[in-house]
Structure 1
C-alpha cells in the first residue's frame, strides 16, 4: 500500500519513485529492476550498513538485484507513507516512512528522505535513501 500525502505535480523523477514503490509493494523484482538504468546505483541506506558494509552502493542491475534479495525480499510486505515530495532538476526527494512487515510477525518503520535521480529516458540513475539504522530498529515491534 502507498499512502501519498505529497504533491502530485507530474515530474519524471517523482513518477519513477512512485513506480519503484509500486513494484516493491507488488513484490515485482523484475519490474523494479527494469526501472533502473544499466549503470544505476542504489544506496539504501547511504553509507556503510549491513546491506553494504563498504558504503559504496549497489552498482548495476546484478548488484541491485542482489540488494533486493538481501533487503527487500526479507519482508512479507511493505507499506509506504510519503508525507512530502520535492522535485527539482532531474531529482525528487520524498520524505516519509517505509513500513516493513517481517515473517517473524514484527514490523519496522523506517523514516527517511528518499532521493531518486533519473536520466532523460526516465530510468533511475540513482536512488539514495537517508535513514538511520538504530532509529529504524527502535521501532521494531510485534504486529497484532
Structure 2
C-alpha cells in the first residue's frame, strides 16, 4: 500500500469507528497530543482525555453517516469534501456540508482534525424541526455541561463567531478572478504541497478552476474547486475582513 492509500485508510477509519460507536478505536487514530477542532472556530480539544469528552458529547449520542464526494491528499494533509448525515433522534436528521482537514503526524496517525462547517446554519436547521428539536437541544446542553463544564460549553459557542457572507463573497471573487487569470492581487497563494507565491506567479496552476461549495468557519472560508476531473479545496484566511493567505489543497 502506497503512502497516499495509507493516509486515506487512516482517515477513513474515523467514519468506520463512528458508525460502530467504538470510542477506543476512534481515539486510536490520533497521536497522543492530537487536536480536534470541530467546528473550526470553537475551542480545540487536545489529547486523549479531551478527545474522549468530545466523543462522549458530540459523537456517542448520534448516528453519523459520512457521504464523501472527493478526497484530496496534499503533502501531509488529507482533505475530505463531504456531507454529514446526523440522525439526532428518530424524528430529526440533519444534513451538514463539511470540509474535513486532517493534518497527519504519520501515515497511520492523525495530528489534527479540523472540521470546517457552519454552526449557525446547523442550529437553524435544528430549530426548524420545531418541538422535535427541544429534547435534542436539552440533551446537548446537558452533555456539554456534564462532559465539558461551563468552560467547554463557552468554548463550543465560540464557533458562532466566524467569517460571514461578506468574507465568502470576497473569497469567491478572489478565486473567480484568479482562476480566470485576471487577478492583480498580491496575496500569496500556497498551491499544493510546494508552490508558494503571488497570484501572478501561479497563473497556470490557478487557471480554469470552477468554484463550488463555500463554507465559513472561524476566520477561514473554504471552497470546493473543480476543473474537469480534478478536484481541490481552497482555504482563505481572514484578518480584519481581509484575505491574508490562500491555500489551495490539490493532489500532490
TM class by shorter-chain length?
0.7 to 0.9
Q: Write out per-residue CA displacement over residues 107-126 of structure 1, whole angstroms, 9 at most, x where no aligned residue.
A: 11111100112123521100
1:11/1:91 CA distance change after superposition, 3 Å: farther
Do residues 123 (structure 1) and 109 (structure 2) align? yes
Deviation at 1:136, TM superposition (A): 2.2
Superposed counterparts of 1:1-144, under 5 Å: 10-48=4-42, 55=43, 57-75=44-62, 77-103=63-89, 105-120=91-106, 122-140=108-126, 141=129
The 1-side partners of 2:67 and 2:50 are apart by 27
The 2-side partners of 1:87 and 1:12 are apart by 11
Deviation at 1:105, TM superposition (A): 2.1
The 2-side partners of 1:124 and 1:10 are apart by 14
Kept after mapping to 1: 8 A contact 2:4/2:73: no
CA RMSD in angstroms, aligned pairs only: 1.8
Kept after mapping to 2: 8 A contact 1:13/1:117: no
Kept after mapping to 2: 8 A contact 1:13/1:116: no
- Normalising by structure 2, report the TM-score: 0.47
Q: Which runs of 4+ in 1 moved over 4 A?
A: none
Deviation at 1:58, TM superposition (A): 0.3
Deviation at 1:10, TM superposition (A): 3.9
Where structure 1 has 5 or more consecutive residues not aligned to the other structure, the ranges are: 1-8, 49-54
Judging by fraction of residues, say which structure has more helix.
2
The 2-side partners of 1:44 and 1:30 are apart by 19
Q: Write out per-residue CA displacement over residues 56-115 of structure 1, whole angstroms, 9 at most, x where no aligned residue.
A: x1000100000001111121x111100111111111110111111113520111111001
- Normalising by structure 1, report the TM-score: 0.80
Q: Whose relative contact order is higher, 1 or 2, with alpha carbons under 8 Å and at least 6 apart? A: 1
